[in-house]
Amino acid sequence: MQSIPLLSLRNGQSVPILGQGTWNMGESPAQANAEVRALQAGLDLGMSLIDTAEMYAEGGAERIVAKAIAGRRDQVYLVSKVLPHNASKRGTIAACEASLKRLGTDRIDLYLLHWRGAHPLAATIEGMETLVSQGKIGGWGVSNFDTDDIDDLLEEPHGEHYLCNQVLYNLSRRGIEYDLLPQAQQAHIAVMAYSPIEQGRILKHPALTALAQAHRVTPAQIALAWVLRQPGVVAIPKAADVAHVQANRASLDISLSAADLKILDEAFAPPRRKQPLAML
């Protein structure tokens, strides 16, 4: 099994290109132990980036993460997010401190604005920069920002300090390839792809199932391998059981040929014009 390739961020930190998402975790007490085991299995396999948010299960996902990383915090690159309605300067700081408490740690490696809301970006950035100076976060970024949002961000003082934009990206949601992804790649900004298999909705597509059979893997693994082959992109699929985690990890061992990629382009056409940023 090859080691997971790393992506260097602009602040000098490196992250694995395959991490773990936690959307929908922490919602069912009956599933909690399995979710913790799944995250721990991912850490054992080198998937050391764990993405969560204060929104997920109203803090429940962060509590699951806390259990998973207990005793091994230094092995983990931890990502969380502040909700837009909390993203004033003071609100960003307070939300981060609440997330730190739920996560059982004194620092979050990367803290994101979950999506753009009513609070001015300047206020959110001030909060983020304060948290960096206090050592409570290692760096900050954004999520669900389109190119015009990034332009606005860069007009603000210290806006250029952002490290990452987390967006929806998968075979059926390729709009960012037209403009946002090239913009990020040129600026050495990480793009973090959430829902890289479209929450399973694309997995019965004939092109995916045929390629999966040819490679003797699953359609989900083909879809994930397709995302992971893109330079500058980190994928954060959610897996709530150990077998699913292992399958995600194995997707890194799949090499898609030019012919494979052509088949996927014919089935899931790349964008030919600007598209509104897709969100889930």
Residues labelled as active-site residues: 56
Strands 77-82 and 110-113: parallel
| Beta-carbon-side half-sphere exposure of residue 219 (alpha carbons within 13 Å) | 17
* Dihedral over alpha carbons 31, 197, 177, 179 (to 10 degrees): -30
Query: How many angstroms from the chain centroid is the CA of residue 74?
Result: 19
Q: Map residue 256 onto helix, strand or coil.
A: coil
Q: Map residue 168 onto helix, strand or coil.
A: strand
d(CA 172, CA 100) in angstroms, rounded, equals 35
Q: Is 114 annotated as a binding residue?
A: yes
Per the CB < 8 A criterion, the answer to whether 199 and 224 are in contact is no
Residues that constitute the known binding site for substrate: 114
Q: Residue positions in the annotated binding site?
A: 114
